Structure 1
Amino acid sequence: MAEQHQNIVWKYADSDMAAGSAEVIRTLHDHGYEAYWVGGCVRDEYMGRQVSDMDITTSALPEVTCSIFPRVIPTGIKHGTVTVLVNGQSFEVTTYRIESGYEDHRRPAQVVFVSEVEEDLRRRDFTMNAMALGIGGSWVDPYDGRRDIDLRIIRCVGDATVRFREDALRMIRCIRFASIFGFSIAKDTWKGILAVRDTLPWIAIERIRAELDKMMAGPDPLRGLGLLKKSGLYTRMKIPFPYAMKDPVIINAIPAMDSSHLDIRWAMLILGFDIPGSEAEKLLREWTFSNQRKAMISGLLSFQEAWFSGERGNDIEADRLLWIQLVLKHGAKTAESWLCMHEAVNTTGKQHIDQNSLVQARRWLEEMPVQSLKDLTLTGNEILQALNRRGGPWMGKVLQQLLFQTAAGLFPNERDRLIEEAKQVIEHEEE
C-alpha cells in the first residue's frame, strides 16, 4: 500500500514541467481516478539527478483519459498510453497494465488493464524503475527500489531471466544504467543476463545503438564497455560489436573527452579498436548512425589516417601545408574535433601527439585566412567573365588551387590578385 509522507516538492525537475504534470494528476484525481508519477522521474528525483521527463500512470482507461483532457494525442492507445498536452508541455499517461506473450523478446502480444498500481509496477524491469510517487508525497515501492538505490545495486523485478526474456533490450539497459550510475549489478540479475543473452539478436540494432549512445555519453563509458565484454553481449548483437582494444591509450582517454562531444567519443572508440576507415563506414551504416553523424565520425577517422600516413616533424612547412590540405578537405569543424580529441588524450598523461605540436596545429587553423570556397572574394562566375571562358571541369580545379594557395597565405584573398592567379593557372595548364 502507499506510504504517506508530506507533499512533494520536486527539486530536480523543471518547475513548469513539475507543475504541468501535477495538474494532470490532480485532474485525474478530480474525476475519481488514481494517478502517480512513475519510473525514471521518480528514480532520478530520489537519486538527486536532473529529471528530463515526467511519466504518469493511472487507473483511468486510455479512452477515459482522452475524454477528460481537451488536448490528447493517442500515441500508444492500444497499449494504454496517450500523450496529454498541458500548457505547452506533453506528458505520457499510461493506464495500469500487465503484459504477456513476448514472442519477439521485445513487444508484448497481450496487454491487460488492471486496477492496482502495484500490479503495474510488477511488469517493470528494475526495482529502481518500479516505483511510483503520489502528488501528496506518498510512495509506492513494493520492490524496495529506494533501498537498492541506496545500496547502489541494479536488480530485476522478480525473476531476472523472465524480465530479460520479455524484453532482451533490458540487458543492454542494465549495463547502461550500471555504467552511468556507477552501480553494481545484483548477482541474480547478472546470472539472468548470462542465461538469456542469446535472445539479443531479436532486438533491432537502432534500439541497441540508442542505448549505447547514452552509455557513451555517460560519465564512465569504459565501465559499460567492460561489462559488454564480460557479459559476452557484444558478440550476440545482430551486428556484432567489434570489441578489440588495440590502442588502450586512446580508448582510456574517452572519459577525458567532454561528454557533449558524443561522436568524438565514438571516433576514439573506433580508432582504439583499430578499424580501418572503409570498414568503419560500413559498420556505422549497419549500426544505423545518421548520415550527419556518420560523416562526422568518418571524417575524424580519415583525418587521423592522413595525418599519420607519413613522418611528421621533419619539415615544419610540409607539415603546415598538409594540415591546411586536411582542413580544406574535411572542414574546420572536423579539424577542431581532431584537436580536441588529442588534447583529451594528452590530459591522461599519455599521448599520440606532443602538446607543442597540437598548439602549433591549432595556431595554423586559427591563422588560415580562408577555410572554404565561400570565404574567397572571387566566385566561379567572376572567373568565367574575367577569363571569357566557358565553364567546365577546369573550374573546380582552379577554385581548389586558389583556395589552397590563399589558405596557405601564399597570396592575399583579394579579387584582382585571385583573377591574376587564375589566369596563370590556366596558362600553365595550356602549356
Structure 2
Amino acid sequence: MVVHWTQADDEMAKQSEKVLQRLNEEGFKAYWVGGCVRDELLGRAVDDMDITTSASPEQVMGIFDDCIPTGLQHGTVTVRSGGYYFEVTTFRTESEYQDNRRPSAVQFVQNIQEDLQRRDFTMNALAMHVDGTIVDPFGGQLDIKQGLVRCVGLAVERFGEDALRMLRCIRFASVFDFSIAYNTWKGLVNQRELLQHIAMERVRTEMVKMMAGPHPQKGLELLFRSKALEYVKAPVDSNRFNKELLVGLEHLTGEHVLLRWSCVLLAGRYTREEADKLLRQWTFSNEHRVRITGVLQVEELVTTFVEQRVDDNLLRENWIVTVLSCGAQAANDWLILQKQLPQKWRDSSERAHEQMAKVQTHAASWSKSMPVHEIKELQITGEQVLQLVERKGGPWLGQLMKHLLKETAIGNIMNQYEALCTEVKRVTANDQV
C-alpha cells in the first residue's frame, strides 16, 4: 500500500485503495474523505472508509461490476471490493436545504475543494490522495491538533443548512474532548431554535453516540450551557438537573453504558412514568426503555421503605419484594448505579440515610439468598392449587400465587410441593384470598 493506515483494518484499507487506484486509472480524481481521514489523524479506530471522486455515479457503475446504486440522487454508489463495502460519492455542492435538514438538490462538480466546502466541520473537510497527500483547504489538521470543533465557513450557514449539526458539534466536542470555536459556539446558541425541525430519532442517535462516548459529562455540560435540548420536539429543561449526580457517569462502561441514561434521569428528578413518556418521545426501543426506567422504579420503592421505621429483617423483606416487583436486572442495575452516586444525595432524614446504607451494603447478598424470582419457579402450579382446594379460578388465584412467591422468596416457606400445599390450605381456610 502507498498509504500506511495505522487505525484501519489492513484488508479494508487495501481494498479501498484498489477502488481509488481504479478510479485514477480511468482518468478520474478520487480521495478518501471525511471521518476516516480525521480518525486516522486522531489515532482513533477507522470503521469505514468513504471515497469521493470526480466520476459521476453512472461512470462509477460503469467501472465497477459489483456495486449498489444506494443514493444516486445524492451521487452515492456503494462499491464492493474483497467483501468490503465503500460509499463512493461524486464531488458535489448542495443547494437550498428543506426543513433545516436536507438539501433540496445537489450539483455535481469537478473540484474537490468545492465538495469539501459543503461539509460541516473543518476536521471532516479533509481528503487524502492515494499517495498520502492531504487536501485541507479549511485548516482541519490544525484544528485537530488544537482540539477545536470549528464550522467550515460561517456557522450560521452550516447550522441553518442542517440543524442536527448543532448536536453533532456537541457530540464531537464531547467524544473527542475538544473545545468548540468561539464563532461556532455563538452560531449554535443563536440558531438552536432550528432544532425544533429535527426528527427525534435523529436527535436520539446523536445523543446515544455522545452518551456512549468517553466524556458524557462534558457533552451534558455543553447541552446544559447551550440549552439546546430545550428546543427539540420533546424538550428537556436543563434547570431540573442535579449535576452533582453526574460525576460518576464515565465509570459506567461496557455493558453498563445504558445505565448512564438512568443516572441522567435520576439527576433530572424524573419519576418512572415521566421518564418512560420522555424515552418514548425520544424513540428509544422498548428493551432500552424498560432497562433505563427499571432503575427509577427500584429507586422509588427503596426510598419509600427506608423512610419507614423497620428492623433489619423487614429491610431485607422489603428489598426482596422490590426485586420481585421490578426484576433482578433492575435491582442489580440500581445497586451498580449507587456506587457512582454521591453519598447522602437524597433529601432524606438521617435515619433514612442509615437505612439506605444498610440496603446498599446487604442487598446483593439478600438477592443471592432468594430461591425463586418468578411464579413459574414454584414447585406448585395454579392448576394444582385449583385441584387442591376444589375451587374455580379467578383473581384470588393470582393473588395466592404471588403470596406463595413472596413467602418462598423471603424464605418463610420451602419451595417444596408439600410445604406449598400446606400454605395454600392455611390461606384458603382463613379466607385470606
- The two structures share one fold, judged by TM-score above 0.5: yes
State the superposition RMSD in angstroms. Answer: 2.4
Q: Which runs of 5+ in 1 are unaligned?
A: 1-5
CA-to-aligned-CA distance 1:8-30 (integer Å, 9 cap, x gap): 22222233433333333334334
Q: Which residue of 2 aligns with 1:91?
A: 86
Once the two structures are superposed, the pairs formed by residues 17-416 of structure 1 within 5 Å of their partners are 17-258=12-253, 260-310=255-305, 311=307, 314-345=310-341, 357-384=359-386, 390-416=392-418
Q: 1:350: how far off?
A: 6.8
Counterpart CA distance in 2 for 1:305 and 1:35 is: 58
CA-to-aligned-CA distance 1:167-211 (integer Å, 9 cap, x gap): 111111111111111111111212221332222211112211211
Counterpart CA distance in 2 for 1:425 and 1:23 is: 77
Query: What number of residue pairs does the alignment pair up?
Result: 424
Counterpart CA distance in 2 for 1:205 and 1:145 is: 30
SS in 2 for 1:308: helix
Query: What percentage of residue pairs aligned between the two structures are identical?
Result: 45
Mean Cα deviation higher: 137-146 or 236-245: 236-245
SS in 1 for 2:380: coil
Mean Cα deviation higher: 304-313 or 178-187: 304-313
Q: What is the letter of the counterpart of residue 396 of structure 1?
A: G
1:282 to 1:87, Cα distance in 2 relative to 1, 3 A: same
SS in 2 for 1:344: coil
Structure 1 contact 218–259 (Cα < 8 Å) conserved: no
Q: Which residue of 2 aligns with 1:421?
A: 423
Counterpart CA distance in 1 for 2:24 and 2:416 is: 72
Counterpart CA distance in 2 for 1:419 and 1:94 is: 72
Counterpart CA distance in 2 for 1:303 and 1:119 is: 55
1:428 to 1:50, Cα distance in 2 relative to 1, 3 A: farther
1:371 to 1:82, Cα distance in 2 relative to 1, 3 A: farther
Q: What is the letter of the counterpart of residue 61 of structure 2?
A: C
1:382 to 1:40, Cα distance in 2 relative to 1, 3 A: farther
Q: 1:164: how far off?
A: 0.9
Structure 1 contact 59–95 (Cα < 8 Å) conserved: yes
Q: 1:131: how far off?
A: 0.6
Counterpart CA distance in 2 for 1:23 and 1:391 is: 71
Q: Which residue of 2 aligns with 1:3?
A: none
Q: 1:91: how far off?
A: 2.4
Q: 1:351: how far off?
A: 5.8
Counterpart CA distance in 1 for 2:76 and 2:311 is: 65
Q: What is the letter of the counterpart of residue 314 of structure 2?
A: A
CA-to-aligned-CA distance 1:92-120 (integer Å, 9 cap, x gap): 22111110111311100110111222221
Q: What is the letter of the counterpart of residue 149 of structure 1?
A: I
Q: Which runs of 5+ in 2 are unaligned?
A: 347-352
Counterpart CA distance in 2 for 1:420 and 1:16 is: 68
1:323 to 1:141, Cα distance in 2 relative to 1, 3 A: same
